[in-house]
Structure formats: structure tokens, C-alpha cells
A and B are shown apart, each in its own frame.
Chain A
Amino acid sequence: MLANGTIVPSSLSVRDLLWQVKWDKEKCTLCGRCCAVCPVQAIELGVHRKRTIQIPSLAEIGPSTTSSNVYQVYHGIRQKTDPAYGCTGCEMCNLVCPNGAIAAERSEEVDKQRFHVNQGGQPRRRGGRRNAPDSSNLGTLDRIKFTRISMLTDPALDAGRHEFELRTLLGRVLPPEENIRLYRENGWIPPVREIYPLLIGSMSFGALSPNMWEGLQMGVAYLNEELGMPVRMCTGEGGCPPRLLRSRFLKYTILQIASGYFGWDEIIHALPEMKEDPCAIEIKYGQGAKPGDGGLLMWSKVNKLIAAIRGVPPGISLPSPPTHQTQYSIEESVAKMIQSMYMAWGFRVPVYPKISGTSTALAVLNNLTRNAYAGGLAIDGEDGGTGAAYAVSMDHMGHPIASNIRDCYLNLARLGKQNEVPLFAGGGVGKNGKLAANAAALIMLGASGVQVGKYIMQAAAGCVGSETDRCNVCNIGLCPKGITSQDPRLYRRLDPEKVAERLVDVYLSFDTELKKIVAPLGRSTSLPIGMSDALAIDDKDAADRLQIKYVV
């Protein structure tokens, strides 16, 4: 811009942006890879004009000599300052640069870009999780310690050599008296699945790229069939590829139905050809990342394949309604929906709802306890991830998972139904990399299992998104790692085999870490659900709230 040029309100300097691209002219080979790879086109080829003043040496000075300006051109990159093209800090430029000549650096002061990301009156939408800029301030789950270590009065177990039963149950478990009576009378007993307590949470085919989905499915199949770990993965609201529906691998899959019913035409039509029942049906009523708001798949990601599976025209945005259109009362319509889904598979498949963390979770739970069919309740806390949501929903809406799950568990215990409606917790599990510790804490607070999505993307596919607003462009289909993009040029970058391998790595290491937690607590015969006497936290208020010990 010229010194006397006009400026508009959203004219920003590079320094005003959240991320500044630092480029080293000396190292740059001008190969152009950085500009080609940048998902948001934050940088472009820069043709820079530079003036050099050439002053003759004293010896050369004569009457005819004058100083002269030499104008030179050099090539390099230029960072765009239009907020629409703001660098997201994904560092793909750095990843592809042969000489390490380029890198993004975070603005040292609060950026001004944030005030201009609503161009056209459209609030910011993004993928990822709730932004929590101060990552050194650990969340509640990270601060929970396991303090009841077996010492002398009972022996701590050998995590490496002892046998452990770390399964959990998904499905409605009857009270023992009723269960025995129905078994004797050959009555209907609700289906219950014995599964691994770490579930891959709902990430749809569409939100994820085909390669990512395939990699996860391969990893899940390997974990089940080669390693004997009954790991389950939920489809999210995007239907399920037709071949998977007709394969034996369907039994490792939890099919999700949500308010847009995307993909269910395909699923219903595949019913007669299914070789196996799915593991379960999850009815999504809410999601922790955007509580009270519907799913969102933006038009750019709806290609022909996605459109076919979901049963919609390609190239249109797919916002699901915030709630199921048929839902007018939890007693009636939710019960009916649960029963309808049971009926579709002949009452052989557990059906459970998923809600976002909320202070009304108890009301939902109380209702489900009176519904003889509800096979569990999944609660997704405020730190849950998403492929696309309004930033305001992600950052400010929702309920932390720890106290939500604890309240629900204690309420079940008061009702005597703590073994009947299994609770599954999600939302920020492993947010700071402490997956096993977070999962174990939630289980001991009362969860029967945990759902995890974002961690899997980070660990199994190298997602670089963070809670300090790095990358987080899952919504626009330009994921630089090919995890959430639908453009073959992008998702080809992700090798499904390697995703499967990493998923197996994640589960095996999680399993070892979980044993390293439960073994010193003397637990091996069953998953320590509700073993709150093992937990403590160094915050009196949090300890009181969660009804665990306070330690300093």
C-alpha cells in the first residue's frame, strides 16, 4: 500500500495477523512448494522490486560521474493480509520446504485478525475444539491424581504380566433379579455388547476423508481380529459406505443417526443384505463442540461420493437441524425413536442416545432410566471436537465433562441403576496428550467407557490442529494432512495403511498405560467404574464438587 493509499476497516498488516510467515531469502530455493501446499493460500509468489544505490568510489569520481539507482527484482514469497487468507499456522510450508527457509510464527500480541473474520456478516466457522489459549493451565481431568496405591495391605499388580479384564458393557443391563427371571422364562433380554472401554467417537464419512476413514476401519478390524481387542468405532452422521454395511466388519461399527438422517436411506435398504448386526445404534441429540446446534458439512466437502452415501445432491452445504424434527417429548418421541431403531434389527442391537454435556443431563438420564430400552447414555463435554461449527458455539457453549458425568453416575447410584444404563464420556479426553490418565479418571468418576475423536486424528493421522487456534480448517475441506479433506489431491497424502498402523499403536500403548494405572490400584478383575476412592485432586472446590479426595 502506498503511504497515501486508502485503507479499509479490514486492512491489516502482517503484524496484525495471528500467524506471520517468516521467510529466509538466503535459504529459499524458489521451488514454490510452500505456495503450492498452503491450504488457505496465505502466501503467494512475491516479485519484489528493490533499489540499490550505487555510489562510485572516490577514485572514480569525476565531473561526469553521478550516483545512480539500480533497480533489481528478486523473487520470493509474500504473505497476504486479507483476513480471508490469514495464515492458520499449519506449517505445511515448513514441512515441504527443502531448506527449512520458511515457518509460521504466532503473533506476539493479541492479533487483530479476530475482529475481521466475520466478513459478509458470516460469523467465523471452523473445525477443532474449544480454544483454550493457556495450555499450561491443565484441565480438571489432567489434574486428577490416582492416590489409592496398593501398598503392603494388598499387593500392587504387575501391569506387564498379570491378567486384566478391561472390558466394558454397552447396552441396557437388567437388574439381576429380572435378568435371571427373564433368562428362566426365555424372555427378551436387551442386547449387551462387551467392548473395549476406549471407543472411537463419531466422526462421519464426509467430515473425514475416505483415506482417513478407511485407515480407521482397517485399524479397528486389525485390533479386533488380530489382537482380540473389541474396539468399536462410531460412524457419525454421514451414513456408512455400502460395502461396509454388507461386510462382516459392520459388527465393529456403531451406526449413528442424527437429526439430518443422512445416509439412513442407504442403511435401511442394506438391511436385508447385512451379514452382521452393527455393534449398536447411537442416536445423536447433541454434540459437545456445538451443543444445541446441528451437524454441519460445508458444500465444498460434499463431493459425488459423499452425496451418494448421504443421499443428497453434491455441492450443497448440509446443516442438520439442531434437534430431531419429530422430537416433541422425551417420554414419547425419544422412546419411540429408540424402539424403532431396536425394531429395525429385531431387538438384537443396543440403541443409546448421545447428548452434549449440559446441566439438564440429569433430566435426560432420569428419563432414560425409566425407558426399558435405552442402552446407555453418551455425554459429550464442552471440549469435544468437530469438523465444522460456529466458533462461538465451540468456545463458549457446553458443560465440562467431569462434573457432568460424576453427577449422572451418582444419580444412577442413588437410583440403584448404576449398572443398568452405562454412561460414556467424551469431550477433550486426551486433550493434552494424557489419554489413558484422562480416560481412567472418567471411568473412576463413573463412566463405563470413553469416546475419543480428536486425539485419534492427532495421534493416528498427524492432525496439527490445536486449542491455540492452529490450523482448525477442517470445515473447508482443505485439511493439509488429508484427514478431513474430500479433494483427492489432498487426501492422497494420507496413506490409509499408515493410519491403521498408528491406530493400533495408539490402542496398544493406551492399553499398557491403562494397566499401569489400574495395576497399582490393585484392580484387574473388572474395569474400576466408579472407584472414586482412588481419585484425588489438589483443588478443594473441585474435590467437593466431584466427591473425591482433596490432596495437597
Chain B
Amino acid sequence: MCRLIAMTSSEPLSPIVAMRALDVMREGHDGSGVGLFMSDLGGPFEELKGLPILSGICTGEGVKRLDQFMMNLGFMTKHKVSVRSSKKTPPAGTPRRDVYVIRAYEYPQTWDGLDRREVEFQLMMTRLKLRQMGEENEDMIIYSFWPDVIMIKEIGDPLQVAEYLQLDSEELRARVILAQGRQNTNYAINLYACHPFFIQGIASMTNGENTAFVPNREYLMSRGFPGYMGYQSDSEVFTHIAHYMLNSLGLGIEAYKHIITPLQDGDLESHPDAGFLKQLKHSCRRLIIDGPNCVIGRLPDNSVFLVQDRKKFRPAVVGGRKGLYALSSEMCGLEAAVPDRDKSKDFQPMHLDTVIIASDRSEVRICSQTEPLSPLH
């Protein structure tokens, strides 16, 4: 089973804090891997907020191809962080890699004048192209290419990997951190199968297995959107469903649960937005998931969210204090992440709840699925 921790903080944090929280939840995961997502960056990237950052792993040959490709497109490297593995041998199970890439680029001049949506599309297409090139030659693994976003994924025990990669470096600081201790289930070991997943500013990670994966995947893949691909893990559909909902349907995250686990008859009939929700339930039927799942994610505005599926078979707890909150699979993870909090305010979201913490980190907002949605515009 996966263990998840998300932290959102007014002050930039080192990802090692989240890694320690994962480590205390060690009994719940098998330490087979780690996925890390960071945004709302501090450190040297604070000044480069608008510039896209590429995250991935390359072989020596791959880096050369990457540089050539990016240069041809007109991207200029503005800043790079060397996540250098320490000289000592990697922890058990972790392969030795040539380069962990984290690079911020200056946009090509040819992109001047493109509108935001077009830029976002091109960034995604660049990432997909690099991913495809990497898969062909097995020399690049690309996680994200987006402003203010860094991702690292590796096989091995989370804390050992973090120490090996020296993730406590001053250069890596973020206000939003998602981290996952990964146990690979059902599908082959593949770094692309490791949570969190990312698409155009939206990241999410999931605890549990989605048995409606195949119909969900078929539906997403048939939307004609090139970013809906991959699916080495059944959990990737959660990220893409959120993306589809926000971008194609123009709905807020409060509607997410109405898509993935809609209300049933009686509750639906008595809902103030029954008419709309019924339509949504019908037209998004192929996006209904079948958990048990707990999904924690980050949205482009740096808010973080957590939803439980209908069955609520996966643990999750939310707590913290003004300016620092954590969403964790287990109480001990929360305890490690934010020890100095009012524990009486800890909240365990249930089957109707969506937890949202905005980027001002002022409060934990709980939306129940039975509450009215904000009006459609």
C-alpha cells in the first residue's frame, strides 16, 4: 500500500521534512520507491517563478540529446540544480543514475506572443516529446516541464534515497510538497508508474487501487488530448480526471467528487444542485472510479486537496496550524510533519468530504458532497 504526505507551508520547506514523515509511516509501505513533487518553490527558483523547469533522470548520452533538443527549440538554460548522488554507493535497490535533471529554461523567442493556453499546451507537448525520445533510447525519463514545479522519483527506501540524493540541499525548498512512499502493485516496476502524477500544473497521488481503471483510461484516452497517455499506474487517471474537469469542463475542485464518486439516489435528489449533478453523473459516468482510494493533489493555484472515495477504505488525516498544514495517510505522518499543532482540530475526511487548503494556508476547508456547489458561470 502507498503512504502519502502532502505539506503546504507559508515558509519554504526542505523536502526532507516530508521524507521523514514518510519514514515514520514505514510500516504502511514497503519502501520500494519514492515520488516527490514540489511547487511554490523557494531557494534559487523563487526568482524564476515564470520559467519552466524540467525534471527527470538522464543517462550521460541522454543529457546530450536533451540539451541538443532543447537548444533546437530555442530554450536557454537559465538555472540548473545538480542533484548529485553522494559518492557512496546507492541504497539497496536504487540504481546508479548519471544525472538527475532539474533545469529552468528561458522560453524560446518564437513563443513570444503565444497566449497562456497555447504556452501550456506547448510545454506539455515538449515534455511528451522528450518522454517519447527517452523511451525510444532508454536514456531519459521526464517527469514534468512546468513553471515552479520540480519532481523527483526514484526506486528505493524514501529516506535513504533522500539522503543519498542530498535532498536537504539549500537549493531545494518548496512551500507545497507531495511525497509518496511507493509500493508497486499490479504493474511492472517503472518510474512512470510512480506517484505523484503530473499534467499541466495538476499533480496527484493516490492510496489504493482503482478497479474502474480500464473504463476510466479508455474514456480519457478517447478525449483526443495528447497528455492523456501513459497509464502505467491505475492512479494516473485521478490526475487526468482532475485536469479534464478543471480544463475541459471548467468546474472547480469541489465538483471532483461529484465526478469520480457521484452521490446516490436519495442524496442526489435532495441536493440543492440535483438537476446539474444528475447531468454530470450521467455524462461523466465513465469517469466514475471504484476505489478504495484516497487522493491528495495540488492544483495550479498551489492549493492542495484531498478526497476520499465512496467506500472510504483508505486512511487519511489533515491537520496543522495557520501557515503550515499537512495531509497524511496516517496520524504518525502528520505528527512528524507538524508536531506543534492543535491536535483537537485534526480531521479525518470521510466518504463525502473534499478537503481544500488554499495557497494562503489560512484554514482547512471541508466541502461535503451534499453541500451546494458554487453557481455555474
Contact = CB atoms under 8 A, between A and B. Distances in A.
Interface of B: 1, 185-186, 208-209, 211-215, 218-219, 222-224, 248-251, 261, 264, 275-276, 279-280, 282-286, 288-292, 309-311, 313, 376
A415 B212 contact: no
Interface in A161-195: 162-163, 165, 169, 173-177, 179-180, 183-184, 189, 192
Is chain B's binding surface mostly helix, strand, loop or mixed?
loop
B282 to A, nearest CB: 5
Given A180-B279, A183-B279, A522 B285 contact: no
A154 B208 contact: yes
A414 B222 contact: yes
B200 to A, nearest CB: 17
B285 A525 contact: no
B218 A176 contact: no
Contacts of B292: 154-155
Nearest to A184: B376
A79 B213 CA distance: 62
A173 B313 CA distance: 31
A189 B222 CA distance: 22
A183 B273 CA distance: 12
B211 A522 contact: yes
Contacts of B224: 416
B310 A525 contact: yes
A331 interface: no
A524 interface: yes
A522 B289 CA distance: 11
A530 B215 contact: yes
A418 interface: yes
A393 interface: no
Interface of A: 148, 150, 153-155, 157, 162-163, 165, 169, 173-177, 179-180, 183-184, 189, 192, 413-419, 521-526, 528-533
A413 B209 contact: no
Contacts of A419: 219, 283-286
Contacts of A154: 208-209, 211, 291-292, 313
A155 to B, nearest CB: 6
Contacts of B311: 157, 162, 524-525
A215 to B, nearest CB: 28
18 contacts: A153-B1, A154-B209, A155-B313, A169-B285, A174-B283, A179-B279, A180-B279, A183-B376, A419-B283, A419-B284, A523-B211, A525-B311, A526-B212, A526-B285, A526-B290, A528-B211, A530-B214, A531-B212
A417 B224 CA distance: 12
Contact of B283 (A179, A413, A418, A521): A179
Given A154-B208, A524-B311, A533 B222 contact: no
A180 B250 contact: yes
B282 A179 contact: yes
A189 B279 contact: yes
